Structure 1
Amino acid sequence: MGQIYLVRHGQASFGSADYDQLSELGLEQARLLGEWFANSRQQFHRVVTGALKRHRQTADACMAVLPKAHRIDTDWHTDPDFNEYDHHEVLVRHHPSFEDPAEIKRFLAASPNARQAFQEIFQAAMTRWMSGEHDADYRETWTQFRRRCIAGLQRLVDGADKSQSIIVFTSGGTIATICQHVLGLEDKQMAQLNWTLANCGLTKLLYQTGGASSRRVSLSYLNNYAHLEWLGQPHTITYR
């Protein structure tokens, strides 16, 4: 039985002109995950990253901590099917004034409970996107996004040996969508799950191979961030 570890990227630069850049905390989260893997003597046969900068930065910071012997002959591959949906486009189609990052900062600063207020707006934006009623407004519809996430997972399993350990550095929406597919969840549950995934949280899938007709993927655990908790510092656990 093989293993696929799905890692959500470390904390990115939310509210800045370039979101696709890890913060200092995001880099530290990735290093802590790498230390956890090193302490558990985990080895990986393949490393896969989405094509976004924050995916590769998380992978580099995490894998650099592993002992050199655990990194020799590891195959690295970039697959854009593990990219996140365009969260900025989803947001601004619902709330056009948020096209300007400065407006987001002003909104957050003026809100008594900024996190809850932003979450409510983004949930409404996700509902609009996922409804299928406004597909012409988006470069990638919800249906198209879901299809490519599933295709990325299937291609990964189809190309794997029966007992490989593979790690994928990706994004929360991608992980939630893959879990939706594996568990047979509704769209609404995917959106709810997406909000719960911590930066550098770890989700583990198990796969079995034995011919195309008998390939099966199951969930082992979801959103494990024990590697961030052991420091006893709540600020290391973030969600965006």
Structure 2
Amino acid sequence: MPHITLVRHGQANTTARDEESYDRLSPLGHQQAAWLGGYMRDIGDRFQRVYTGTMRRHIETASAMGAEEHADIAHDARLNEFAYFTLSQLMQEQYGLEVPTEREGFVSHLPAVLGAWERGEIEGAPESHEHFANRIQDVMQEIAAGQGRALVITSGGLIGSVLRQTLSLDVGGWAQMCLAIMNTSVHRWQMVLGQPLLTQFNGIAHLETPDRHHAQTHL
């Protein structure tokens, strides 16, 4: 029975305000990924297939985890994140919606951006929401059809979208999921009669010891 494990990348460049600057792991992000890889080895968690997006933070996370020990890594651009920084900048220019400087501000900012994007109200968006949702559905269906356990290293927005498709969430629910997803968190699905069943959300067992609590990050 196919199993799919999705992992969010390690902490990226938290001071970034654009897509390119954000797309690299911080020193803590490398450490989070190394701890996750070590934890998976310790518990005997093995995978027959490994996938990442083509973003630098995905590839760096896979490398720090030692993911190549499981299988050859397939890089697929369909597993890339949507351009949140760009969408936020367009929302500010077109609607005056200020980009938050603290995490609490994203509680209202994220659903506003995602809702406008889904409704096609952001002029010049680099990708339509429909295209984003369709490419995720397509790649996840292909991965689910493969043989053996699959490890997928990607981004929080994409994982949140898979959760949305699995649980039939509205935009508000999707945004809440995205905000909750932690760096190097583990999310698992099991395919049952051709349908995805969520069996784990936001697992961070590799960061639960007291000396690693500081590494439980969202941004």
User: In the alignment, does 2:48 pair up with 1:45?
Assistant: yes
Size of the aligned set, in residue pairs, is 213
TM-score by length of 1: 0.81
- Residue 56, structure 1, aligned to residue 59, structure 2: yes
Pairs within 5 Å for 1:72-151: 74-96=71-93, 108=101, 114-130=102-118, 132-134=119-121, 136-151=123-138
Moved over 4 A (4+): none
Partner of 1:174: 158
In structure 2, distance between residues paired with 1:25 and 1:182: 31
Q: Is the 8 A contact 1:45 1:165 kept in 2?
A: yes
Q: Describe the superposition over 1:95-131 as per-residue Cα deviations: whole angstroms up to 9, x where unpaired.
A: 239xxxxx97xx73xxxxx32235433443223222x
CA contact (8 A) 2:52 2:58 kept: yes
Separation of aligned partners in 1, 2:52 and 2:135:
15
Deviation (angstroms), 1:5: 0.6
1:154, 1:136 → 2: CA distance? 30
For structure 2, the 5+ residue unaligned runs are none
Quick check: 1:228 aligned with 2:207? yes
* Separation of aligned partners in 1, 2:105 and 2:197: 35
Unaligned runs of at least 5 residues, structure 1: 98-102, 109-113, 209-213
Do the aligned residues in 2 keep the contact of 1:93 with 1:125 (CA within 8 Å)? no
TM-score of the aligned structures, taking structure 2 as reference length: 0.89
- What are the Cα deviations for residues 138-171 of structure 1, in whole angstroms up to 9, with x where unaligned? 121222111111111011112x12xx11100000
SS at match of 1:203: strand
CA contact 1:44–1:167 (8 Å) conserved in 2: yes
Residue of 182, 188, 200 corresponding to 2:172: 188
* In 1: Cα distance, 2:125 partner to 2:182 partner: 26
Amino acid in structure 2 at the alignment position of 1:8: R
How far apart, in 1, do the equivalents of 2:79 and 2:5 lie? 13
1-side partners of 2:103 and 2:7: how far apart? 23
In the alignment, structure 1 residue 5 sits paired with structure 2 residue 5: yes
Deviation at 1:36, TM superposition (A): 1.0
Larger radius of gyration: 1
Contact preservation (8 Å) 1:135, 1:141: no
Cα distance in structure 2, aligned partners of 1:135 and 1:155: 30
**Counterpart in 1 of 2:196?**
217
| Contact 1:149–1:178 (8 Å) recurs in 2 | yes
Which amino acid in structure 1 is aligned with residue 8 of structure 2? R
Q: Percent sequence identity over matched residues?
A: 29
CA RMSD of aligned residues (A): 2.2
Q: Are 1:27 and 2:30 counterparts?
A: yes
